[in-house]
Amino acid sequence: MLDDDHDDIHPLFHGAPATTEFRKLRKRIVREVREAIETYGMIERGARWLVCLSGGKDSYTLLAVLHELQWRGLLPVDLLACNLDQGQPGFPATVLPEFLQRMGVPHRIDYRDTYSIVTDKVPAGRTYCALCSRLRRGNLYRIAREEGCSAVVLGHHRDDILETFFMNLFHGGRLATMPPKLLNEEGDLFVYRPLAFVAEADCEKFARAMAYPIIPCDLCGSQDGLQRQQVKQILDGWEARSPGRRQVMFRALMNTRPSHLLDPSIFDFVGLSRDLASQKADSGEKPPQLPRRD
């Protein structure tokens, strides 16, 4: 549909480059988003999603692709774009409202001065990200409830997920990352990450090609030595030396083998017996198929 010269395209795609390279990029991102949505069961027919828009390349890509899927009839949910203005000095407050109005995208702009709270509570020299994120998430949950939404939809991509995994590995002492689908602690809202399979580089190419009005996060960007920046540099180095390494590592997150890890809460090492296979055979049960060693 969007490859034709018809007028029946969503305004978010007006002015899209007519090059073969861009069409392939757009189709790849749309395919990967649709795959993530289907793989993790994100669709509840008739639901309403709060699509969080920060003004960065990732959230613009998310907004455009979700609207394309909705436009095609492949995403039977209602979409409400939302920007939380956190009172950051110099934040261009008119950019997103004007953009969303011009694009004909239903939206809500909510102002909450969390910036002052973060800068007051976080000691000098410490990073703002953790507290800033918690305050932002709490406000987004509030807005979702007020708007009758069943899900808060975030623009975290494949590289964000991989970086978070290594941050937890290096600094948190646990194997964990951002899941594509999460139920909040209260149990009333889902958190979705439909860009889970999309590379950051593709988001950057897409947003740049569409000339979306990018708003940088100067709050986090002003602090050097963040753990995420350090992890990103490590991954960049690995990727440079071995192209495709990021994707291989990401796929590993989808291919876990509990029996080959060390967590007794997810695999019964104590109950593992040499006689288990013969006992199963005598009872007529199929013995468990343990993963083969690589």
Predicted pLDDT of residue 283: 55
Predicted pLDDT of residue 12: 87
Asked if residue 173 belongs to a domain, the reply is: yes
Asked if residue 269 belongs to a domain, the reply is: no
Asked if residue 275 belongs to a domain, the reply is: no
List the pLDDT tens digit at each of the 294 positions of the chain.
Answer: 444 444 456 788 888 999 999 999 999 999 999 999 999 999 998 899 999 999 999 999 999 999 999 998 999 999 999 998 887 888 888 999 999 999 999 999 999 888 888 877 777 767 777 778 888 899 999 999 999 999 999 999 999 999 999 999 998 999 999 999 999 999 999 999 999 999 999 999 999 999 999 987 665 544 444 788 889 999 999 999 999 999 999 999 999 999 999 999 999 999 998 876 555 555 555 555 555 544
Beta-carbon contacts of 60 under 8 Å, excluding residues fewer than 6 positions away, are 53, 207, 210, 212, 214
Residue with token string 């910036």? 115
Asked if residue 5 belongs to a domain, the reply is: no
Asked if residue 278 belongs to a domain, the reply is: no
Predicted pLDDT of residue 205: 97
Predicted pLDDT of residue 88: 80
The full DSSP string for 193-220 is -TTTTS-HHHHHHHHHHHT------HHH
User: What helix, strand, coil percent values describe the chain, rounded to 5?
Assistant: 45, 10, 45
Backbone angles phi, psi at 183, to 5 degrees: -100, 130
Asked if residue 108 belongs to a domain, the reply is: yes
Burial (0-12, 13-18, 19+ Cβ within 10 Å), 191: buried
Asked if residue 194 belongs to a domain, the reply is: yes
Predicted pLDDT of residue 134: 85
Structural domains in the chain (count): 1
| d(C-alpha 261, C-alpha 209), whole Å | 43
Predicted pLDDT of residue 2: 44
Predicted pLDDT of residue 17: 92
Asked if residue 241 belongs to a domain, the reply is: yes
For residue 98, the enclosing domain spans 11-252
CATH of the domain at 172: 3.40.50.620
